[in-house]
Chain A
Amino acid sequence: MNSQIYDVAIIGAGCCGASIARKLSAYEISVVLLEKCVDVGFGVTKANSGIIHAGFHHPITSLKARLEIRGNLMFDQLHYELGFPFKRVGIIVVAFSVEEMKTIEHLYSQGVANGVPRMEICGRERILSLEPQLNSDVVGGLYAPTGGIIEPYRYVFALVESAQKNGVEVKTQFTVEQGIREKDYWIVKSKEGETIKARYVVNSAGLFADEVSKSFDAELFEIIPRKGEEFLLQRNAKGLPNHVIFPVPGAHTKGILVIPTVEGTLMVGPTAIETDDKYDVETTSQNLETVFMQATYMVPAISRREIITSFAGLRPTMKGNDFYIEPSKKQPHFIQVAGIQSPGLTASPAIGDYVKDILKQEGLQLIEKKDFDPFLPHPIKVRELSFEELEKVVEKDPKYGHIVCRCESVSEAEIVEAISKGHATLDGIKFYTRAGMGRCQGAFCTYKILKIISRETGMPVEKITKRGDNSWIISQRLQALADEKAER
C-alpha cells in the first residue's frame, strides 16, 4: 500500500471534480483525482449539451442559481487561461403565444433579480432580426447575450491538465468501492484493487454519488438518472442559428434546444426522461421524433437528413432538484457534491471555489502556491489556422501537414499530442482532437489512428479500445490467426 496520505481525494473527474481539483491545485496541498473510467470527463460530462447558461432559469433562493450566476462570469478568465473553445453566443428563449410571453416576463424578472446582465424582452421584430431562421409564427422572447457554449469534455481535459501541471495526481480506472475512516484519514479502496489514503474526501461521483456516500457510511440519498438524447448535425447544417435557442421551459426541464456548437456543428436535444438504470444511454426512435418535432417547430429549416450521430447522457438528479453541496453530517472530512444536474456545467467553476471554502471551514489549511501557473499552452489546431499560419507550423513539425481526419482537419501531430497527454483510446482522441467526430464518423481515419496509438504507446493494435474495458476494436491480427492455424 502506498504510504502517502493525500490531503484531499476527489472522487469523480467530471466537470465538478475537475474544477475542484484545479482550484485546489493553487494551494500547498497534495490532491488526488480518482476516476472510474479510462479517461476523465467520460461520465455525465461527456454527453452534456455544452451550454453556459445565463442564469435566469432558477430562483435566486436556490444554491444552483447562485452558483450558476457566479460560474457564468468565470468562463472568460478560464477560457483565457486554459484555451478550451468558448463563445458567448447568447441565449434566446422563444415564445409562440401570449401565454408563453407571460413566462418570458417571469424569466426576465427572475434573471434581473439574479443579476443577469443585459437581458432583453424581445418583440417579434426584434427576435426575428436576432434570429432570422426562427419560425415566423414566433411572438417574441427573451434575449440573454451572456449565455454561451463550450465543448464540455475539452473543458474538463483542460481543467485536469492544468491541475496536473500544478501537482494534482490523476488515477483513472479507479472505481471507488469503499471508504474506511482510520484515525484522522480515510482509506479509499478501489474495485481494481488499489488503495489510497486521504485526510479529506470530496464525493463528486456524479451518477454514483449516492453509492459512494453509502460506501463511506455517510448520508443515504438517491440519485435519479434523467436521460437526455441529443442529435448532432453536420457543419454548416441548414438552420444553424446564431444563438442557443430555448423553448419556454417546462416544469422540470429547459426543453429541447437548438444549439450552434462551438465547433460549427448543430445539435438538437436533449430529451428529459427519468430512468432507473445508471448505464442506460440508449437512444430510441420515438425520442428522435420528439426532438425533431420540437426543434423544427422553432427552426423549420433543420433537416434530419443532416444527422451525423446521436447520443444520450444521464443527468444525476436528486429529490428537491437543488445541488447538494455540503460537508457530511454523518462522517468527518467528507464533502458531498451531489445532484449536480443542469446548470452544473455552468456552475462548475463556482462549485470549485465553493468546495474549496467548505474544505477550509472544515479545517483544511490552504496556503497559496507561489508558483501556481494558471495557464496552459494553447494547442495548435490545424482547422483553426490560416493557410499562411499552417505553412509556418508544418515547417517546424511536418506531422501538422499530415491530415489524418479529413472531415475535421485533424493532423497527425494533434493526435500524437493527445496520446502524450494520456488520451490513448479512440474516444479519448476523438474528444480531445475531434478526429472521428465528423461526417464520416471515423470510416477514413480509424485505421490510421489505431496505428498511431500503437506506434506511440507500443500497445499492440488488438489491445486498443474505444473507451477502455471491453470496448476492443480489433479481435485479432490476421498474421496471428495464420500462425495459430499453422500450429494446429
Chain B
Amino acid sequence: MIGVGKMKQYSNVLDKPLSKGKQEVSLTAFAFLFSELVQYNQTQVDNIAELERRLEDAGYAVGSRVLELLCNREKGNRRETRLLGILSFVHSTVWKVLFGKVADSLEKGTEHEDEYMISEKELLVNRFISIPKDMGTFNCGAFVAGIVKGVLDNAGFPAVVTAHFVPIEGQQRPRTTILIKFADEVLKREARLSQ
C-alpha cells in the first residue's frame, strides 16, 4: 500500500518543514472538540468568571503559538511593532488563517483612547452555542479573546482582552465583540514612536 509505514521520521519537530496551513478539518470536528473543552472547564470551576478565565487561558496558549507560526510563515520572520500594525495583523492575518475570513470590523473605542474592538457577527466558536439563562453573561468568545491576548502579549503589546455579546437590532442573535484595552506602557511607547 502506498504511503503506509513511509511516514518520514524527524528527530526534532523543528526539523520538520512548516506546513503551508492549507489543511482543513470538518467544522463539526472542531465544534465537538471545543464543546469538550468548555464542558471540561465547567467541571473545574465554581463561577462564570473563573470559567471565562480558564477558557481565556486555553486561548492564550493558542494565540502565542499562532503569532510565532504566522510571523514565520506569512511575514518572513518579521512582526509588527506599531499599534495599528499589530491590530490589523490580528484583524486580517490571524482571523483569516484561523477563521477563514477577515473579522467583520475593527473599531477604536469612542470613550477611551486605549480601547479597540474587533466585532464578528457570528464568531466561529459561538456558532453552535446557546447560553443557558442561569449562566448570565458568559461568552465562549473568551477563548477567542484569549487567542487575541496571546498574540498581542507575545508581540509586546500587553492588553486586557474580553469578549462581549452586543445585541443587533432586528437580529435574533447578538454579535460578539472582542474588546481590547491596551496597557499604559503600550500607549506611551506608541506616542513616543509617533513623534
A, B co-complexed: no
